[in-house]
């Protein structure tokens, strides 16, 4: 069964990567792959816990999907009110290299405050208002994925895997911020600086509509500023909401979305129906890319079969037995997380290693937080941030592989080297 599951997963993965040559939408390939994988697992395992395993996977997937839907809708609502004009109108640089540097720095620090997924959605949506050339937007989106993953790695709330280790007691917030900040800066800086140097002399070409998406609908400054402030505030408040209530992030996003819905209904209640509809949350919901969200469902459910069939934990055990060197093992786990989701890889590692042998804030857990957080940047479907960018900008798998993967690998290796050097000096 395990061999068959691996073969089907690889075929599904290739079908997703070869979306354009095959002329088959990646979402369809992901859903078919997930269906076949779960059918094989159900027919072969005979597990009494099959329904509970599927239910558990569905719960995890639903949390990510609800969060994604909420965050994307908030961003679309800000966009409908021309909220991003508040930022784009202040961007005065005409140099593409300088703009990329500013976007990268903002993304890196914003992902530590929000998280890498939300930051990617916000920043990719933002650059659509600034850049007219599709080639430029693709390049910026690729760097946003890399810098958001690197920025999320050094914050206990910046990445799902880091949060898992923080909530599980393997790491503390002070240690992860102190020890992973410099390696994360290096992981982001190497790809950014190489790309910045390659863009020297190129100028920014804005979109044809000059940043305005609402040419036919006037919006006053008060409405625009209010929705922008509430929308960004709702996203920023999600980590705080999680820490205070211990509820999952999707609840915070949906709560903020509900508040925005009430405000927009009250704000536009006296306006004409056509204007009211354009600025409504229902309009924003209609603008989100449902195909990308369904793709999330398919790919995450497909990976879940590898987790429940213990293939991922067996890979982790095999690495432990055959290699032995903890640093090499963790770096390979980071590389594997670019192929399969980093969450089950970290979950397998947590169950495999004892906290008696590896106590709180030990080498293993800190290095795992860095490698799992940044390793997914090497492939566009290796992280939630990458999947979001892929949907928002319709990034081709092989374009990212050709243009971004090597840069992400250099950043990953550079950051890992700095962490190991830093750890050896301190200890």
Integer-rounded Cα Rg, in Å, for the chain is 22
Number of domains composing the chain: 1
- Mean pLDDT, consecutive 10-residue segments, the chain of 427 residues? 89 86 89 93 79 86 85 87 83 89 94 87 89 93 96 88 82 90 96 94 78 59 90 86 85 92 89 82 84 84 85 78 86 86 75 82 93 91 87 90 95 96 89
- The torsion of the CA quartet 258, 262, 265, 269, rounded to 10 degrees, works out to 170
pLDDT of residue 26: 86
Query: What is the pTM (predicted TM-score) of this model?
Result: 0.81
pLDDT of residue 213: 47
Structure tokens at 268: 């536009």
The Cβ of residue 392 has, within 10 Å, a number of other Cβ atoms equal to: 23
20-27, long-range: CB < 8 A, 24+ apart: 20/396, 25/291, 26/295, 26/397, 27/291, 27/292, 27/294, 27/295, 27/298
Distance CA 382, CA 378 (A): 7
pLDDT of residue 211: 44
- The torsion of the CA quartet 118, 123, 128, 129, rounded to 10 degrees, works out to 110
pLDDT of residue 21: 87
pLDDT of residue 212: 47
The domain containing residue 232 runs over which residues?
A: 56-426
Distance CA 211, CA 126 (A): 10
Residue 206 lies in a domain: yes
Residue 204 lies in a domain: yes
Residue 187 lies in a domain: yes
Distance CA 361, CA 120 (A): 28
Residue with tokens 């590692």: 349
pLDDT of residue 209: 59
**Cα–Cα nearest to 233, from 252, 216, 214, 250:** 252
The Cβ of residue 123 has, within 10 Å, a number of other Cβ atoms equal to: 27
Quote the strand ranges of 40-182, DSSP E: none
């Amino acid at each position: 069964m395990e061999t068959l599951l691996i073969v089907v997963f690889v075929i599904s993965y290739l079908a997703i990567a070869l979306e354009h040559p095959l002329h088959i939408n990646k979402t369809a390939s992901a859903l078919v792959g997930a269906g076949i994988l779960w059918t094989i697992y159900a027919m072969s395992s005979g597990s009494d816990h099959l329904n509970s395993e599927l239910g558990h996977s569905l719960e995890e997937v639903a949390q990510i999907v609800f969060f994604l839907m909420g965050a994307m809708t908030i961003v679309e609502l800000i966009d409908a009110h021309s909220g991003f004009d508040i930022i784009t109108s202040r961007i005065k640089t005409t140099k593409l290299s300088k703009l990329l540097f500013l976007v990268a720095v903002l993304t890196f620090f914003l992902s530590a405050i929000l998280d890498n997924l939300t930051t990617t959605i916000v920043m990719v949506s933002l650059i659509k208002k600034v850049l007219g050339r599709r080639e430029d937007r693709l390049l910026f989106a690729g760097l946003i994925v890399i810098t958001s993953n690197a920025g999320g790695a050094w914050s206990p709330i910046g990445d799902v895997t880091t949060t898992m280790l923080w909530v599980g007691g393997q790491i503390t917030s002070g240690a992860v911020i102190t020890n992973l900040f410099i390696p994360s800066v290096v992981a982001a800086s190497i790809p950014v600086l190489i790309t910045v140097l390659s863009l020297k002399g190129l100028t920014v070409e804005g979109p044809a509509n000059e940043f305005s998406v609402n040419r036919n609908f006037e919006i006053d400054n008060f409405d625009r500023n209010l929705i922008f402030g509430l929308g960004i505030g709702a996203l920023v408040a999600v980590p705080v909401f999680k820490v205070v209530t211990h509820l999952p992030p999707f609840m915070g996003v949906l709560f903020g979305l509900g508040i925005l819905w009430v405000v927009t209904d009250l704000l536009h209640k006296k306006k004409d129906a056509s204007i009211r509809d354009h600025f409504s949350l229902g309009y924003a919901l209609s603008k989100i890319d449902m195909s990308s969200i369904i793709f999330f469902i398919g790919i995450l459910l497909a990976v879940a079969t590898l987790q429940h069939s213990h293939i991922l934990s067996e890979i982790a055990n095999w690495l432990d037995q055959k290699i032995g060197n903890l640093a090499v093992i963790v770096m390979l786990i980071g590389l594997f997380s670019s192929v399969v989701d980093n969450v089950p890889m970290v979950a397998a590692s947590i169950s495999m290693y004892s906290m008696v042998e590896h106590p709180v804030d030990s080498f293993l857990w800190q290095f795992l937080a860095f490698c799992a957080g940044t390793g997914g940047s090497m492939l566009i479907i290796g992280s939630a941030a990458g999947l979001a960018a892929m949907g928002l900008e319709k990034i081709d798998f092989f374009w990212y592989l050709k243009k971004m993967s090597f840069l992400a690998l250099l950043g990953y290796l550079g950051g890992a080297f700095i962490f190991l050097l830093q750890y050896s000096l301190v200890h």
